[in-house]
Amino acid sequence: MKGNFKVRAPIIAPQCPKYRCWHAEMKPDRLDGDLSKPFWQPGEWIDDFHDIQGDSMPKPAKKTRVKLLWDEEALYVGAHLTDDTIWATVKNRDEVIFVDNDFEVFLAPQDSTHRYYELEMNAANAVWDLMMEKPQRDDVRRIIGWDIHGLESAVKIDGELNNPSAANRGWSLELKIPWFSLRECGSNEVYPSHFAPAPGEVWRLNFSRVEYHVDVEDGRYVKRKNPETGKDLPEENWVWAPTGVIDIHMPEMWGYLTFTRRGEAYPLPLEADEVKLALRRLYYREHAYLYEHERFIDDAAALLGEEAAKYGIRAYTTPSMFEGVAHWNGQIWHIRQDGYVWRDDTSAE
């Protein structure tokens, strides 16, 4: 069996930044895109965005700032995008937003790399929300008909939408994302006992900003063309946690979102990340081997070297599947050919 596509491995070591999300001290009166409201004051700014391929690429030309808060009802996201070219063409919900400049949120309630959420919006306050059963590299099935129940969003423009002659400085947004829908990917229970996260709970998180190069023609913005090909220039992809390749759908490279209350200790990095990253390296190398040799290989040491022994990793294969198993620190971890990572329920974290 020849691999029908080549899985692209990250070309940088995981940076996986961490964000401490404070519990909100009040309810927002309404969403209007204004981040100067007292509601937002407890939040900490994220303002360190990178090119998606990492810091070997030029730094983003425009500043992006994000902060989050949470309460028992919802997760709140506020972002400000400095921009002198404020435009949007998509107006309706669940249309493909990233053909415009946009802001994107990626949330994974679990760290399996499967079952996570994507939410995109543009300066016209058009929203596209969808559920990802698994990353694109693993024969994805997007669930576009899924909607965030009770989602609220708002945009505030410092300038004027679709007017190049205006004094455009940027736009800001607010999102209210109720927990009810988000728990569908975070629990195996049909009716989980709680929807809001417990203090100290950790999710995976990333943000992406898509920014196109544009020119002004006849008083409107148009995407800049490559003079040699006549095609649109590729967009810029600026993110919080770089993935190393132009593909945001690598949850193992995303940052950590920890839900906290005032006075609580900030959790230390998860020690099990080490063995999970080793298993994910096995996944990438198994797929590279499949692409070249038309089969998986059951010799984990040949793919991982000393790392296989360090984490007690063995590989088991069939003609079309593989499973990696790690025995480490009293825990048993698994990864399979579609990238899904899990721990045996019989092992304690």
Residue 14 confidence (pLDDT): 77
- Say if CB 277 and CB 248 are below 8 A apart: no
Q: Tell me the CATH number at 295.
A: 3.30.1300
Give the end of a domain, one of 260, 281, 296.
Answer: 260
| Same-domain pairing of 155 and 47 | yes
pLDDT for position 41: 96
Q: How does residue 6 score in pLDDT terms, banded at 50, 70 and 90?
A: low
At residue 5, the pLDDT reads 53
- 76 with 183, same domain: the answer is yes
137 versus 104: which is more confidently predicted? 104
Does 332 lie in the same domain as 233?
Answer: no
Is there a domain that residue 12 lies in? no
User: Can you list the positions of beta strands (E) in the chain?
Assistant: 18-23, 50-51, 64-70, 74-82, 102-108, 116-121, 127-132, 142-143, 152-158, 170-178, 202-211, 214-217, 220-223, 236-239, 255-260, 313-317, 322-328, 331-336, 341-343
Of residues 271 and 68, more confidence is placed in 68
- The model carries a pTM of 0.92
CA separation for the pair 52, 326 (Å, rounded): 30
Higher pLDDT, 313 or 110: 313
pLDDT, one tens digit per residue, over 178-230 is 998 887 665 554 445 568 898 888 999 999 999 999 999 999 999 999 999 99
For residue 193, being part of any structural domain is answered with yes
Pair (184, 144) in one structural domain: yes
pLDDT of residue 186: 59
Q: Are strands 74-82 and 142-143 parallel, antiparallel or unpaired?
A: unpaired
Reported confidence tier of residue 141, pLDDT bands at 50, 70, 90: confident
9 lies in a domain? no
By residue range, what is the domain housing residue 327? 273-343
87 and 172 together in one domain: yes
Residues 143 and 286 both lie in one domain: no
- 263-319 pLDDT tens trace: 777 666 566 888 999 999 999 999 999 999 999 999 999 999 999 999 999 999 998
pLDDT digits (tens, 9 = 90+) for 11-46: 767 778 999 999 999 998 899 999 999 999 999 999
Q: Is residue 278 domain-shared with residue 255, that is, in the same domain?
A: no
Average pLDDT over residues 339-345: 89
- The 3-state DSSP class for residue 59 equals coil
Tens of pLDDT, residues 240-254: 999 999 999 999 999
Q: State the total domains in the chain.
A: 2
Q: Does residue 85 share a domain with residue 44? A: yes
Side chain identity at 149, as an amino acid letter?
H
User: Which stretch of 163-167, 235-239, 320-324, 343-347 has the lowest confidence by average pLDDT?
Assistant: 343-347
